[in-house]
Amino acid sequence: MPIVTELTKILNIRVPVIQAAMQHVGLPSLAAASSNAGALGILTALTQPSPEALRKAIRETRELTTKPFGVNITLLPTINPPDYAGYARAAVEEGVRIFETAGNNPKPLIEYLKANNCIVIHKVVTIRHAKAAQKMGVDILSIDGFECAGHPGEEDVAGMVLLARAAQELSIPYIASGGFADGRGLAAALALGAQGVNMGTRFLCTVESPIHDNIKQTIVNATEKDTVHIFRTLNNTARVFKNKVSTEVVRLERRPGGAKFEELRELVSGQRGKVVYEIGDPDYGIWSIGQCAGLIKDIPTCEELVRRIESEAESVIDGLNKLKVVKARL
């Protein structure tokens, strides 16, 4: 029997799983394969160089799938911001009605999307921000725990606690993000009140993921100990793969007096991270990976992955249903 949750009903998907937005990775090939598999595929808007390029990516995705898919727009802390409004307008005009938003000051973007009858999933790393986004009228919250790849915030709260706190505090559906890679994780998230899971690193390591096979094999070979936090001293913490470059960044940050971003800029260049995916050298630059890498042992197709997650979760849930509570005699 399929696992039906608020997430599957709202998004009209078969399995309560979302393929996370990933820079340089959230392209039509992966988004369409994820959606065709029964999950929700996500295109990463800022991977495209312009709103017009995003239009083309949306059209390309539609040629590959008839299933629902979404678009992520992440608001970056930068002096020269991208044309967020242009990306949102292009996607809406192309008929996209599912959006994932993230970042600071999302209210104007959320208001525009809701005014155009869109479903908005907003990603947060604290309960405080979740409650603020709830007031803004988002439909679903994505709760990102400390285990996640990318930016976990500065409060270092693990997903186990964040999800349980969300159950106490929120009145709208939420999903779990960070540390999830299999059906057991999906079942655990559901037990904690989530309506589904968001998976990045696990979808990064699939056949349809548009990155070099050597990087996928690096993920397979990695353990949960092969990540590191950078930018801790800059209050912009990010979890990335532990390699020569990230180790040097941490060394510079830990020296007396710390390090300014200008000193790290060349090491952490996004362009170098993109090249990692292209040439397959895991030491060439900074690239994001979550602790769930320790759970990843193969490189399946998206179809194989989603089917497996669905089957594993059903098996775990069935096993829990067989447990009996025996009341002690007083």
> With 70 as the cut, is the pLDDT of residue 97 above it?
yes
Q: How many alpha carbons fall within 13 Å on the CB side of residue 80? A: 0
> With 80 as the cut, is the pLDDT of residue 328 above it?
no
How confident is the model over 71-96, as pLDDT tens digits?
999 998 887 899 999 999 999 999 99
Contacts of residues 205-209 at CB distance under 8 Å and 24 or more positions apart, as own/partner, are 205/296, 205/299, 206/30, 206/33, 206/299, 206/300, 206/301, 206/302, 206/305, 207/299, 207/300, 207/301, 207/302, 208/29, 208/30, 208/33, 208/34, 208/301, 208/302, 209/25, 209/30
Residue range 127-150: mean pLDDT, rounded: 96
Distance CA 107, CA 277 (A): 33
How confident is the model over 196-232, as pLDDT tens digits?
999 999 999 999 999 999 999 999 999 999 999 999 9
> With 90 as the cut, is the pLDDT of residue 330 above it?
no
What is the pTM for the complete model shown? 0.95
How confident is the model over 170-189, as pLDDT tens digits?
999 999 999 999 999 999 99
> What is the largest distance, in Å, between two alpha-carbon atoms of the chain?
71
What's the start-to-end Cα distance of the chain, in Å? Answer: 39
The predicted pLDDT at position 329 comes to 65
- Domain residue limits, the chain: 6-211+297-320, 227-279
How confident is the model over 284-326, as pLDDT tens digits?
999 999 999 999 999 999 999 999 999 999 999 999 988 877 7
> With 90 as the cut, is the pLDDT of residue 143 above it?
yes
The predicted pLDDT at position 2 comes to 86
Task: Identify the burial level of 77 via C-beta atoms within 10 angstroms of its C-beta, where 0-12 means exposed, 13-18 middle and 19 or more buried.
Answer: exposed
> With 90 as the cut, is the pLDDT of residue 327 above it?
no
| pLDDT level of residue 122 (50, 70, 90 thresholds) | very high
291-308: b or e for each residue (b if 16 or more CB lie within 10 Å)? Answer: bbbbbbeebbebbebbbe
Q: In this structure, which topology does domain 6-211+297-320 adopt according to CATH?
A: TIM Barrel (3.20.20)
The predicted pLDDT at position 324 comes to 76
The predicted pLDDT at position 82 comes to 94
How confident is the model over 232-243, as pLDDT tens digits?
999 999 999 999
Question: By the 8 A CB rule, do 151 and 238 touch?
Answer: yes
